[in-house]
Amino acid sequence: MSIHKIGIIICDRYRRCAGGKCFSSFQKRQGAFSRYLHQNAEIVGYTSCDGCPGGNIEYAAEEMIKNGASVIHFATGFLVGYPPCPSLEYFKDFLTNRYSIEVVYGTHPIPQKYYTLHQKLQTWADPKWDDILRDTLSDEPTRIAYN
């Protein structure tokens, strides 16, 4: 059985994040990691984008690919920050076209506190967010557990 090798790029606003929610959800195969529920997978890289406008996106992905990454996950922080990353779609298109690698929006389930506030702010009202948030919108008890 092949092993899915995963790289994670986080928003630089969270550059001091130790990855607790990402690594926990990876172990539990929750959120965007649920796609690996019955598969072997390992994380081969974890770093930040280096801040707007994502100066580390190209280099980080290239290094992760050298380490065997076959998929790059943009951490959930890109989706739930205030505001969400304005370059998210561009970064995905860039990496997909530059490296022919799969890029996934999100890692851990969206915490309830972010979900509630973004609903009030109508941040995700545009239909494009349906696809972006799909893998990280869990049920309410799971979202609460990730607060």
Cα atoms in the Cβ-side hemisphere of radius 13 Å centred on 101: 28
When pLDDT is averaged across residues 89-94 and rounded to a whole number, the result is 98
**What pLDDT is stored for residue 120 in this prediction?**
97
Instruction: Place 2 in a pLDDT band, splitting at 50, 70 and 90.
Output: confident
Judged against a pLDDT cut of 80, whether residue 20 lies above it is answered with yes
When pLDDT is averaged across residues 112-117 and rounded to a whole number, the result is 98
pLDDT in tens, 34-89: 999 999 999 999 999 999 999 999 999 999 999 999 999 999 999 999 999 999 99
Judged against a pLDDT cut of 90, whether residue 142 lies above it is answered with yes
Q: Which runs of consecutive H residues, i.e. helices, occur in the chain?
A: 20-28, 57-66, 77-80, 88-99, 112-121, 128-133, 140-145
**What pLDDT is stored for residue 1 in this prediction?**
65
Number of H helices, E strands in the chain: 7, 4
Judged against a pLDDT cut of 80, whether residue 119 lies above it is answered with yes
Beta carbons of 29 and 37 less than 8 angstroms apart: yes
Q: Which domains does the chain have, with CATH numbers?
A: 3-145 (3.40.50)
pLDDT in tens, 24-43: 999 999 999 999 999 999 99
Q: Whole-model pTM above 0.75?
A: yes
**What pLDDT is stored for residue 126 in this prediction?**
96
